[in-house]
Amino acid sequence: MRGLILAVQFLTRLPTPQLADFRQEELSTSAIWFPLVGLLIGLLLAVAAQMGVHANHWISALLAVLVWVGVTGALHLDGAADLADALGASHRDPERFMSVLKDPHIGTFGVVVLISLIITKVISVAWIVQSPDATLWALLLIPAWARLGSLYWSQSLEPLAAGRGERFAWNIPENTVWLWGVGLFTLSWITVSLLFAFLAIITLLLWRLFLHWRLGGMSGDCLGAGIEYCECAMLLVLGLL
C-alpha cells in the first residue's frame, strides 16, 4: 500500500495519507503501480467527460482536459516543453541539449508544443464524447498505457544523466512491463478494439525508437514528454480507426 500511495503522490496532485519514515529507494519500487495510477487518472477523465456530456461536447472535452492537467499538476507537460526546447535549440550538440534541458525557463519551442498538445487533447476528447462509435473506456485506458510506457522506456534505455528517469528501473520485477502490458492489451481489446490494443503498443515502441535514435537514451523529461506525446497519439489513432 505504501508503494501505491507513493506512486499517486509522485504522478498526481491527489490528496493522500502522509507516510512516515520515507526512504528514497521506496520511490523506485512504487513504479510498479504507475499503470494503476494511470487507470485512476483515466477514471477521473471519463467521469469529468460524462458530467459535461449533456451540456455540450466541447464543454465536456474542456472539463476532461482541465481535470487531466489539474490532476497531474502539468508534470508531464513540463517535460514535453523542456524536451522540445532542448531539441529545438541544441542543433545536435549533446552539451547544448543537456544545458537547455535543465533550464527551468520555457522557450518558443516549448510553448508551441504545449499549445499543440492541449488543443489535440481537447479536440480528440470532444470527438470521443460525441461519436457514437467511440467509447469512454479509451479515456480510462490511454493514461494507463502511457504510464506503462514510462516503465518500459526507463527499463530499456540508458539514462542520459543521473536523475529521476533511471530510478524507475531499479527495484521492480523484470516481468512488470509484460504483466501490465498483457492486462492492458486484454482490457483494450474487450472494451475498445483489438486494433486499438495493437496500436497502443506500437505507439510506445515508436517513442522508444525515437529516443534511442535521436538521443541514445532517456531522462525524466523524456519520460514525461513520452507520456504526453503517446497520450495524444493514441487519441488521434482512436479518431482514425
Give the range among 36-50, 93-107, 116-130, 137-151 with minimum mean pLDDT.
Answer: 93-107
Task: Measure CA 222 to chain center.
Answer: 11
Above 60 in pLDDT, residue 166? Answer: no
Q: Would you state the torsion angle of the CA atoms of residues 223, 225, 229, 232, taken in this order, to the nearest 10 degrees?
A: 100
Looking at residue 25, its pLDDT comes to 67
Model confidence over 186-224: pLDDT tens digits? 999 999 999 999 999 999 999 999 999 999 999 989 999
* Widest CA span in the chain: 52
Query: Can you give the residue ranges of every domain in the chain?
Result: 2-240
pLDDT of residue 20: 67
Query: Half-sphere exposure of 194 toward its Cβ, with a 13 Å CA cutoff?
Result: 0
Average pLDDT for the chain = 88
* Cβ partners under 8 Å of residue 140, min gap 6: 39, 42, 43, 45, 46, 191
- Give the 3-state secondary structure of residue 202: helix
